[in-house]
Amino acid sequence: MGSRILIVDDEPLLVKGLKYSLEQDNYEVDIAYDGKEAFDKAKAEQYDLIILDLMLPVMDGLEVCQKVREISQVPIIMLTAKGEDINKILGLEYGADDYMTKPFNILELKARIKAILRRVNHKDMKLGEQIIQLDGFTINTLGRKVSIRNKEINLTAKEFDLLLLLTTNPGKIFTREELLEIIWGYEYFGDLRTVDVHIRRLREKIEENSSQAEYILTKWGVGYYFRNKS
């Protein structure tokens, strides 16, 4: 079987159809119908990706996402039936790697799953170095771990990919559109705030003062870049 995916949703028909469709692509699929069951499975089993609905019984998707992030960096795609932007952004704030709004196109979901798994497995990363060191940062590209002045930093998959891209291209300004294309690997229908949320979370984790960033800087009206101070 291929990668292991946990589907978490309380709609049996959606789960049944999604499970069948993913299994046709050779994914191994597990199911949970409420938040507690999902977290229990995430603790007990090893998954390559979790598809997590926002509105769940017992424990909602945001709480599940937050708890999973305390024990694992497994990629999480949030599903929401709500159209409000705040719910999408909150999903990312709590550590989700991506989101989709119901009803969604199964082909688009599969494209996003493939893009995330490809990057997590770093099959398309052509890096000559396994360890990158600069300005107090130590980045292990194989172990996908980051430390700053010997203190390990806990990053999500997308945060790691963003930091790796920026640090391996110091001084190069990436537009938000470019970052969406490179990191997410598909058309994101113009929702550039996704990049802003991830950049802000990354700054909060690596900067001494995220409101006065020293490493990941903004070129106003253009995009973001990494400043190598050494």
> pLDDT-based confidence at 1, cuts 50/70/90?
low
Q: Which is more confident, 6 or 229?
A: 6
Residue 60 near residue 54, CB atoms below 8 Å = yes
* pLDDT confidence of residue 186: 60
Strand, helix or coil for residue 30? strand
Largest CA distance in the chain: 56
What are the E-state strand segments in the chain?
Answer: 4-8, 28-32, 49-53, 76-80, 98-101, 131-134, 137-140, 145-148, 151-153, 174-175, 216-219, 223-226
Tell me the torsion sign for CA atoms 214, 188, 160, 81.
positive
Say whether pLDDT at 48 is over 90: yes
Q: How far is CA 174 from CA 37, 108, 128, 184, in A?
A: 40, 25, 22, 14
pLDDT in tens, 70-127: 888 899 999 987 666 666 666 777 888 888 888 888 998 998 898 888 777 654 444 4
For the whole model, what pTM was predicted? Answer: 0.70
Name the average pLDDT for the chain: 86
- Please give the domain boundaries of the chain with CATH numbers for all domains: 4-120 (3.40.50.2300), 131-226 (1.10.10.10)
Please tell me the distance from the alpha carbon of residue 124 to that of residue 11, in angstroms, as a whole number.
Answer: 35
DSSP letters along 46-79, please?
--SEEEEESS-SSS-HHHHHHHHHHH----EEEE
